[in-house]
Amino acid sequence: MGERGRLRLQPDEAPVAAASAEELLRRVAAGDEPAFAALYDLIAGPVLGLVTRVLRNHAQAEEVAQEVLVEVWRKATRYVPERGSALSWVLTIAHRRAVDRVRSHQAVLDREERAGRMDVRRPFDEVTESTLATLDQQRVRQCLDQLTDLQRESIVLAYYNGYTYPEVAEVLKVAPGTVKTRIRDGLIRLRDCLGVDR
């Protein structure tokens, strides 16, 4: 390999493969991609192991571990060797990320539970609805029975059979004005009997 193909090292730099995690992290902070590849090989296993223990879901753990490794690349300049080893720094990031994911997941579950409790709509009860409809029909029949024959017949023809006032008048052989008056009076009595507000 010629001079141009050789990796040039600073006097105090060890080859990437032999460098410590701290040295690799220092190089990553300077944008050294081969150093990041070597650091990745050193820390990926411990990061995935820690995250998996926290999340207990391998697919999510892989996703979070990937996020951690990207964060290490982006924030390598924040590493301070005096505060601890490079691995401790990386695992602290991993632990925080994993805990954040657990909290985020729990927050979603809590929101869904609260939303479920707030949904006060009662489920449709077919038996209850059918019973109420039957009771309403019985009340209407009872109230219709309290009307005069002409009122009852006029209302049934107009509202249940869909006849117009003139058609009701023709069927009952009475004047249209009489039909209107009987229907109006019958509806007033029905309203009072059923207890419907005006």
* Dihedral sign of CA atoms 130, 136, 141, 142 in order: positive
State the pLDDT at residue 9.
Answer: 42
| Distinct helix (H) and strand (E) counts, the chain | 8, 0
Give me the residue label for tokens 């990041």.
36
Confidence of residue 143 (pLDDT cuts 50, 70, 90): confident
* Cβ-Cβ contacts under 8 Å for 146 (sequence gap 6 or more): 189, 193
Whether the predicted pLDDT of 186 surpasses 50:
yes
State the pLDDT at residue 2.
Answer: 40
Determine if the pTM surpasses 0.75: no
Whether the predicted pLDDT of 43 surpasses 80:
yes
- Phi-psi region for residue 3, left (φ > 0), alpha (ψ -120 to 50) or beta? alpha
Structure confidence by residue, pLDDT tens digits, 92-139 = 999 999 999 999 888 888 888 887 776 555 555 676 677 667 767 788
Structure confidence by residue, pLDDT tens digits, 45-94 = 999 999 999 999 999 999 999 999 999 999 999 999 999 999 999 999 99
* Cβ-Cβ contacts under 8 Å for 24 (sequence gap 6 or more): 16, 35, 36, 38, 39, 42, 86
Output 25 or 152, whichever has higher pLDDT.
Answer: 25
